[in-house]
């Protein structure tokens, strides 16, 4: 803003000098015009009193007036001069450089002088008019004009600088601060999709920079997620290989027995063989799916939570079979949350499936209830079951891949993936309570984007 004011003042100074020169020329031409009008009194009557002559000269602001008519110079009006004539200025066709030079000289020199000014009479009043005057009034008028021009220039420069400041702040500074803030927030939590920048700048270059940053963030988030998953996968490969070998060994023994023996217990062993192979297949599929790191960033939008939870409950009812399990939902019909519909469905479905499997494992009737309510800055979803609760070891490693399995034969990947999906929303998955009376998981979803 200061630099803009300075630059505008410099431009105004470049305009100021010619303006003062032009003002000086107009001032002297006005003196010539008044002097010509005063001399018209002699054309009416050649015999005028000394008092009238003095009054005419005083009104014109000059000491004498000489008018050339028909090649003859004639002293029309005259008064005593306080000093000899020091300079003569011809205003009939002066070059611009000379006018500027004379104006600057008059501003710089404060000493009063008597000057002669030659000009062209108006209205065909003759061939030439010549006057003499003192420079004090001229210099004072030029200084007054210059001060007014400088004040106006200062006002223009301040207003221009202010408008430019507002425009630059709106078009450049604010979008740049938005980019910087988004980068800083993303650096703190690169796995949180809320911190991915949303290109919104009106300036083309800034919008291109935001789009490039969004592409870089998306690629980096995917790379970080894949790196984290591969690191976790590498640490678990030995354990997975050991468990898988044991499962396949059991399956092989059952297979050998079936092939080599006519034992009547074959029919009873066959289901065990199938179960062993099924567990091995599920373990391999979950491990490979986790290692691919193909989870995209959530496509956040406003979704109806009641519809989504009803879909989850209907799917779980189909999977219950002959088990005595009831489902209930306590969700406001019009409640909407900011989330990715597909990913949130997977999270709630995973938790509901775990609860169903835990209740079925007990052989007892049970109930699974899903509730939701809103808080000022957060939406809450709870999944509660009347199952047997989680064992201490499962609670200790609940969200750790390959260690936090809650059911026999489980890999522990479901809850880990569910928590990762929620953290991509900026939310969280926690275990609120667990025990003999049942288990409750808590889902937290922020209501507003992190950028605001």
pLDDT at 59 over 90: no
Q: Is 124 left (phi over 0), alpha (psi -120 to 50) or beta?
A: left
The DSSP bridge pattern shows strands 301-304 and 378-385 to be unpaired
Query: Which whole number is the average pLDDT over 67-82?
Result: 71
Q: Where are the domains of the chain?
A: 2-157, 189-297, 301-446
Pick the CATH number of 301-446 from 3.30.565.10, 3.30.300.30, 3.40.1030.10, 3.30.70.20: 3.30.565.10
Instruction: Determine the average pLDDT of the residues in 353-369.
Output: 91
Work out the pLDDT band at 268, boundaries 50, 70, 90: low
pLDDT band at 451, cuts 50/70/90? very low
Which of 414, 415, 418, 409 lies closest to 281 in space, CA to CA? 409
The pLDDT value given to residue 409 = 44
pTM metric for this prediction: 0.47
* pLDDT for res 366: 93
379 vs 373: CA distance, rounded Å = 6
Q: Residue 288 contacts by C-beta under 8 Å, 6 or more apart in sequence?
A: none
What's the confidence (pLDDT) of residue 297?
Answer: 76
Contact criterion met (CB below 8 Å) for 381 and 447: no
Q: State pLDDT tens for residues 83-97.
A: 888 889 988 888 888
Q: Per-residue pLDDT tens for 8-58?
A: 778 777 788 888 899 999 999 898 888 888 777 666 666 667 777 778 888
User: What is the distance between the alpha carbons of residues 372 and 304, in angstroms, rounded to a whole number?
Assistant: 12
Check residue 446 and give its pLDDT: 93
Which tens digit of pLDDT belongs to each residue from 270-320?
Answer: 655 655 566 565 555 555 555 555 556 788 899 999 999 998 998 888 888
Share of the chain above pLDDT 90, in %: 19
| Average pLDDT value for residue range 326-337 | 93
- Map the chain to HEC letters: CHHHHHHHHHHHHHHHHHHHHHHHHHHHHHHHHHHHHHHHHHHHCCCCCHHHHHHHHHHHCCCEEEEEECCEEEEEEECCCCCCEEEEEECCCCCHHHHHHHHHHHHHCCCCCEEEEEECCCCCCCCEEEEEEECHHHHHHHHHHHHHHHHHHHHHHHHHHHHHHHHHHHHHHHHHHHHHHHHHHHHHCCCCHHHCCCCCCCCHHHHHHHHHHHHHHHHHHHHHHHHHHHHHHHHHHHHHHHHHHHHHHHHHHHHHHHHHCCCCCHHHHHHHHHHHHHHHHHHHHHHHHHHHCCCCCCCCEEEEHHHHHHHHHHHHHHHHCCCCEEEEEECCCCCEEEECHHHHHHHHHHHHHHHHHHHHHHCCCEEEEEEEEECCCEEEEEEEECCCCCCHHHHHCCCCCCCCCCCCCCCCHHHHHHHHHHHHCCCEEEEEEEECCEEEEEEEEECCCCCC
Arithmetic mean of pLDDT, 135-155: 88
CA distance 190 to 223: 10
Output the average pLDDT for the chain.
Answer: 80
Q: What is the pLDDT of residues 200-213, one digit of tens each?
A: 777 788 788 888 88
Alpha-carbon gap, residue 427 to 381, rounded angstroms: 11
Which bin fits 438, alpha (ψ -120 to 50), beta or left (φ > 0)? left
């Amino acid at each position: 803003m200061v630099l803009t004011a300075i630059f505008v003042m410099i431009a105004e100074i470049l305009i100021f000098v010619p303006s003062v020169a032009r003002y000086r020329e107009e001032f002297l031409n006005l003196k010539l015009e008044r002097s010509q009008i005063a001399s018209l009194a002699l054309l009416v009557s050649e015999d005028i009193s000394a008092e009238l002559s003095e009054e005419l000269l005083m009104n014109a602001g000059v000491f004498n007036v000489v008018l050339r008519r028909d090649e003859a110079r004639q002293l029309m009006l005259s008064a005593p001069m306080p000093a000899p004539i020091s300079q003569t200025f011809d205003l009939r066709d002066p070059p611009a450089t000379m006018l500027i030079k004379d104006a600057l000289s008059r501003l710089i020199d404060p000493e009063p002088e008597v000057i002669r000014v030659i000009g062209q009479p108006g209205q065909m009043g003759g061939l030439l008019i010549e006057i003499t005057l003192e420079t004090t009034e001229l210099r004072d008028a030029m200084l007054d004009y210059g001060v007014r021009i400088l004040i106006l220039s200062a006002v223009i420069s301040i207003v221009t600088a202010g408008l430019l400041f507002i425009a630059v702040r709106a078009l450049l500074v604010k979008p740049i601060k938005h980019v910087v803030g988004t980068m800083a927030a993303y650096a703190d939590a690169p796995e949180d999709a809320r911190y991915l920048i949303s290109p919104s700048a009106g300036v083309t270059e800034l919008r291109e920079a935001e789009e490039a940053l969004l592409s870089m963030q998306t690629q980096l988030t995917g790379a970080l997620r894949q790196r984290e998953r591969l690191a976790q996968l590498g640490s678990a490969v030995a354990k997975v290989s050991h468990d898988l070998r044991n499962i396949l060994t059991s399956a092989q023994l059952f297979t050998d027995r079936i092939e080599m023996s006519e034992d009547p217990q074959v029919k009873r062993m066959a289901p065990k063989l199938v179960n062993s192979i099924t567990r091995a297949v599920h373990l391999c599929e979950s491990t490979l799916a986790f290692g691919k790191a193909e989870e995209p960033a959530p496509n956040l939008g406003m979704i109806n939570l009641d519809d989504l939870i009803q879909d989850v409950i209907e799917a779980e009812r189909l999977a219950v079979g002959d088990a005595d399990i009831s489902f209930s939902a306590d969700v406001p019909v019009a409640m909407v949350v900011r989330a990715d519909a597909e990913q949130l469905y997977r999270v709630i479905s995973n938790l509901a499936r775990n609860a169903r499997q835990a209740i079925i494992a007990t052989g007892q009737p049970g109930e699974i209830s899903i509730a939701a309510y809103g808080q000022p800055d957060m939406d809450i979803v709870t999944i509660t079951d009347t199952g047997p609760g989680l064992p201490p070891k499962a609670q200790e490693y609940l969200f750790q891949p390959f260690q936090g399995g809650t059911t026999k034969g489980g890999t522990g990947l479901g809850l880990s993936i569910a928590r990762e999906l929620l953290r991509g929303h900026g939310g969280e998955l926690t275990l609120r309570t667990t025990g003999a009376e049942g288990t409750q998981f808590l889902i937290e979803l922020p209501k507003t984007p992190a950028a605001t």
